[in-house]
Amino acid sequence: MSNEDDRIRIARPQCSSDLTATALERCEAILVATEEAFNVAPMITGEQRGCRKPAAGVVGFRVERFPSKKNARDGVNIYFSCESSLESAFALELERNRSFQAFVSQALAVPLPDGTKQIVDFIALDWEGIPHYREVKVSPSKTSHRAMEKVMTAQRVMRGWGLDYQIVYADELPCGLPLSNLRYLYSQYTCVPTAVTQELILERLRAYLPSTYGALRQQFGEEVAFLMFVGLLEVDLSKPVNYETVLTRCATTAHGHR
């Protein structure tokens, strides 16, 4: 972003008074790198490249180009390279989570005490400007001892600095039909509607419930799919979702998160 007024700002955490000067410097370096990651311009191809080149062609890796609507610039989606379907599923969850205004992938490396570094899978930014660092793993038992050791060390280091670093496992994410339904709904709208638009549609469509997704979409447009995707319009993800899906309940307001 070239306009200084458009820059995303990162809030500084309340650090412990027990931290050494070196620890404070390293924490500040992480926060500076985080802020830069949220403000770097995407490549001409629309890809938001992190600090690690995707492992294309490596056995066990499947690189997916994930189109992010939440992080769109000037109405144009940007793309993240996800090294697995698990990372792609988590990116979808970050798109759904209305507590976060933006997120980046593979954006920085955490320095570890042994001199190595751990690249963070995702950083999500909430509406107060606080960054949340997330590592995505299948499970502890399906991750090598060395890899888990590095992740746990990174978690200890980051939390010691007062930063929110968590490990997300596969069993915490949607899979199977619910995941397929979410991907379907995500494909059904082109951009994130404004908070005002969300509120107006919610207020109007209540009078039409119960109704099918197809009928509501015809009446109110593709924004209905967004409302279903983020949970403002209730949908049973354990059953196939399509134009004939009957919707009966919606949130009373879109306020609380943007």
Same domain, 165 and 237: no
Same domain, 112 and 20: yes
pTM across the whole model: 0.90
Last residue of a domain, one of 111, 140, 172: 172
Same domain, 83 and 192: no
Domain assignment of residue 199, given as a range:
187-247
Same domain, 42 and 111: yes
Question: pLDDT (tens digit, 9 = 90+) per residue, 217-234?
Answer: 999 999 999 999 999 999
The Cβ of residue 41 has, within 10 Å, a number of other Cβ atoms equal to 10
Whole-angstrom distance, CA of residue 202 vs CA of residue 223: 10
Model confidence at 13, pLDDT cuts 50, 70, 90, reads: confident
pLDDT at 41: 80
Whole-angstrom distance, CA of residue 66 vs CA of residue 78: 8
Closest to 211 measured CA to CA, from 254, 253, 245, 250: 245
Closest to 133 measured CA to CA, from 166, 178, 102: 166
Chain mean pLDDT for the chain? 89
Yes or no: say if 95 and 140 are a contact pair by the CB < 8 Å rule.
Answer: no
Same domain, 149 and 80: yes
Question: pLDDT (tens digit, 9 = 90+) per residue, 151-207?
Answer: 999 999 999 999 999 999 999 999 999 999 999 999 999 999 999 999 999 999 999
